[in-house]
A = this chain, B = another copy of it.
């Protein structure tokens, strides 16, 4: 399973920590970390919430990258 570097870089572009995102979408820091780490299968609503916070779309963050395995 590959890391989600798109998420990581989109977060960096907003200068937000994992905890910042977690608080913004109402989950724990560990959940955001796990998603970035790649060993995870989050729910679509959480993905959408994350995208909104980062001003990105689902395709931007979660499409294609997750499919190399």
Q: Given the complex, which residues of B lie within 8 Å of A58, measured CB to CB?
A: 57-59, 62-63
Contacts of A45 in B (CB 8 A): 41, 66
| Chain A interface mostly | helix
Bin chain A's interface residue count: 10 to 19
Chain B residues contacting A66 (CB-CB under 8 Å) are 44-45, 48
Complex interface bits, A15-41 against B, C-beta within 8 A gives 1, otherwise 0: 000000000000000000000000001
User: Chain A interface (Cβ within 8 Å of chain B)?
Assistant: 41-45, 47-48, 57-59, 62-63, 66-67
| Sample of 19 more A-B contacts, CB < 8 Å, known A45-B66, A58-B58, A59-B63 | A41-B43, A41-B44, A41-B45, A42-B43, A42-B44, A43-B43, A43-B44, A44-B47, A44-B66, A48-B62, A48-B63, A48-B66, A48-B67, A57-B58, A57-B59, A57-B63, A58-B59, A58-B63, A59-B59
